[in-house]
Amino acid sequence: DVKVTQSSRYLVKRTGEKVFLECVQDMDHENMFWYRQDPGLGLRLIYFSYDVKMKEKGDIPEGYSVSREKKERFSLILESASTNQTSMYLCASRRSHRGWADTQYFGPGTRLTVL
Amino acid sequence: QKEVEQNSGPLSVPEGAIASLNCTYSDRVSQSFFWYRQYSGKSPELIMSIYSNGDKEDGRFTAQLNKASQYVSLLIRDSQPSDSATYLCAVNKDNQGGKLIFGQGTELSVKP
């Protein structure tokens, strides 16, 4: 079974803090993704990566950056947290960006509150 | 027009009935289609994937795909209260770097 883990289930930070959200997958997947999910807005893609050190902007990259130094780990960074970044953050992974039939697997999510 | 559209619901059905969830997509090059279930406060989990026109059955779940009409649906037979969740439709396009396009989700409520 694919396992995607996220570093925290709940996180509370203050405005202006630098925040790191970590995601690890154990199935040697090439593709990794960061989403945020808010009521009424659905899943919105922040950034994704299809290989080590590669990153692509998603639909809402402003205020975020990412790092993928190792294949199994994809980090989301909030450079200076703001209250409008309070949200549920979901990490996902997928075997390959070339595999059109590949499934995307989600981690448990991190509920971030910025005060 | 959104790339993937679902009725937001809530869709309410009595226990034991068939729940029908619908999804339309705009891009004809879409190749693979996925249904995820998401319980409140939890992350999405895959229920079904479908790639060819027709029906695909797995237990109480049946996915239906009609590429000509750009339509994919999920039927849940003998609905149970434990099926109450939000159901997300997702579509893969080959030229998108592996990312899926998600619909907004349909909230299903199964009443005992």
When pLDDT is cut at 50, 70 and 90, the band that residue A61 belongs to is very high
pLDDT at B96: 66
| CB-based burial, A43-63: b 16+ in 10 Å, e otherwise | bebbbbbbeeeebbebeeeee
Question: What is residue A72's predicted lDDT score, i.e. its pLDDT?
Answer: 96
Q: Using a CB-CB distance cutoff of 8 angstroms, which residues of chain B are in contact with residue A103? A: 34, 46, 49
Q: Which of B93, B100, B104, B106 to substitute to test the interface with A, most A CBs within 10 Å?
A: B100
Q: Do A102 and B98 touch (CB under 8 A)?
A: yes
The residue in chain B having the minimum alpha-carbon distance to the alpha carbon of residue A6 is B43
| The amino acid at B63 | A
- Tell me the one-letter amino acid at A33: F
The predicted pLDDT at position B92 comes to 86
- How far is it, in rounded angstroms, from Cα B43 to Cα A88? 9
Which residues have a Cβ under 8 Å from the Cβ of A33 and sit 6 or more positions away?
A45, A47, A48, A49, A58, A74, A91, A92, A93, A94, A104, B99
SS3 B110: strand
Inter-chain touch A50–B94, beta carbons under 8 Å: no
Closest-approach residue (CA) in chain B for A96: B98
Amino acid A103: pLDDT:
86
Token pair of B6 as six digits: 């679902």
Nearest CA in chain B to A90: B43
pLDDT for residue B94: 63
pLDDT for B29 equals 81
pLDDT in tens, A77-111: 999 999 999 999 999 999 876 766 788 999 999 99
Residue A62: CB partners within 8 Å, gap ≥ 6?
none
Kindly tell me the sign of the dihedral angle through the C-alpha atoms of B48, A72, A81, A107: positive
Which residue's entry shows tokens 């994919």? B72
- Encode pLDDT of A15-54 as tens digits: 999 999 999 999 999 999 999 999 888 899 999 998 899 9
How high is the pLDDT of residue A41? Answer: 87
Burial (CB < 10 A; 0-12, 13-18, 19+), residue B23, is buried
By the CB < 8 Å criterion, does B94 face chain A?
A: yes
The stretches in chain B having pLDDT less than 50 are none
Nearest CA in chain A to B98: A97
The tens digit of pLDDT for each residue in A2-13 reads: 799 999 999 999
Residue that is written with structure tokens 């690890």 in the block: A24
Position B31 scores a pLDDT of: 82
CA B90, CA B48: separation in Å to the nearest integer?
A: 10
**Is B37 part of the contact surface with chain A (CB cutoff 8 Å)?**
no
Most A CBs within 10 Å, among B6, B27, B40, B43, to test the A interface = B43
Residue B7 is predicted with a pLDDT of 84
